[in-house]
Amino acid sequence: MNQEHAQQLKAAIEAVKSREIGNIYFVACGGSMATLTPAQYILDREIDIPSAVYSSNEFILRSPKALNDKSVVISCSHSGNTPETVEATEFARSKGALTISLSHLVDSPLWNAAEYRLHYDWGTEARAEENNYGILYRLIFGILNTLYPNEKYARAVASVETSLHDVFERNKANTLEAAKAFGSDYKREPIIYTMASGINYSLAYSFAICLLQEMQWIHSSAIHAGEYFHGPFEVTDYDVPFIIIKGIGETRLMDDRAHDFCQKFSDKIVLIDAETFDMEGISAEVRNYFANLVAGVVLRQYAQYLSEFRGHPLSVRRYMWKMDY
């Protein structure tokens, strides 16, 4: 375990423990916002302290009345340079909130804006317990176990620290051929919808806006499985592709219903089903919270092979980082 990360986490968790907490906000943009969203789902299920997720600029402009010195604001920016997230963190701090920020870049503007800073590793060599999700889950379950001591939360932290990396690697290996087939079969699709619910919805959202729109310039939209029948199902047709992510938790009924209908009319369904994942090593009582992380790793591999078959690297951008916006 990276001892610097462990010390940073301990300091942030102790800071939360030392204060009266009235609410918790998660604030970021794009993929970083999607990274934080599962944590809000976990808190919503586990404790009665209210929490919410905001896009950084809206957090500032909306200026929640409940934001005060009893608030915890957790923000994230991979580069630490996202202006809106830096400003949102400074804004939260000006209101007296306890601020915790996650970033890959030490001494970035975001790093310097927050009271408590959490660095995470990134890249193909990064171990799962030290990457963005690993640090986030260690933080969230660490806070839960500190505020509401429970073996369930302790086992969740242990699952991250001892098993998550191996779980990721096994499931990547298990889905390698399916990822290659996806890249080959869907390389010329002009539009691909993504659909999920519950803790997985943020994954469908990030895959649509980051992997497909941003990194592959493929038209996409994330559809909530519960909302599918309230408008979006009208676009379903034999040649319309859908990626459907099915969880193992409380909202799977919505995923099943949407999948059952969609497969009647579309011949292009890519199913990512958490029930097929190898979750050995993850505590059984929290696997529903971890399955979305595994699905994310699996889908990233799908995106990688899609980019290879399209001859369009995931790193290519048209506007991002190339001009003022």
> What is the C-alpha R_g of the chain?
19
Same domain, 138 and 272: no
User: What's the mean pLDDT in 273-279?
Assistant: 98
Same domain, 70 and 123: yes
pLDDT in tens, 187-199: 999 999 999 999 9
pLDDT for the residue numbered 11: 98
Mean pLDDT over the full length of the chain = 97
pLDDT in tens, 107-137: 999 999 999 999 999 988 899 999 999 999 9
Q: Are 85 and 75 in contact (CB under 8 A)?
A: yes
User: What's the mean pLDDT in 10-30?
Assistant: 97
AA identity, residue 286: V
Same domain, 292 and 213: yes
Residue 321 lies in a domain: no
Same domain, 12 and 155: yes
pLDDT in tens, 298-315: 999 999 999 999 999 999
With a CB cutoff of 8 Å and minimum separation 6, the contacts of 75 are: 26, 27, 28, 56, 85, 88, 89, 92, 99, 100, 101, 102, 110, 114
Quick one: which of 255, 156, 249 has its CA closest to 204? Answer: 255
pLDDT for the residue numbered 324: 85
Same domain, 179 and 74: no
pLDDT for residue 1 is more than 80: no
Residue 185 lies in a domain: yes
Q: What are phi and psi of 110, to 5 degrees?
A: -65, -40
pLDDT in tens, 147-175: 999 999 999 999 999 999 999 999 999 99
In which domain, by residue range, is 11 found? Answer: 3-162
Residue 322 lies in a domain: no
> How many residues are there in the chain?
325
Same domain, 197 and 212: yes
Same domain, 242 and 210: yes
Same domain, 8 and 143: yes
Same domain, 64 and 175: no
With a CB cutoff of 8 Å and minimum separation 6, the contacts of 219 are: 190, 191, 192, 212, 213
Same domain, 103 and 186: no
AA identity, residue 74: I
pLDDT for residue 321 is more than 90: no
Domain boundary among 162, 178, 201: 162
Q: How confident is the model at residue 92 (pLDDT cuts 50, 70, 90)?
A: very high
pLDDT for residue 325 is more than 90: no
Residue 28 lies in a domain: yes
pLDDT for the residue numbered 124: 82
What is the domain-level CATH number for residue 128?
3.40.50.10490
Q: How confident is the model at residue 208 (pLDDT cuts 50, 70, 90)?
A: very high
pLDDT for the residue numbered 54: 98
**To 5 degrees, how large is the angle CA 164–CA 174–CA 209?**
70
Total structural domains within the chain: 2
Residue 319 lies in a domain: no
Q: How confident is the model at residue 78 (pLDDT cuts 50, 70, 90)?
A: very high
End-to-end CA distance of the chain: 39
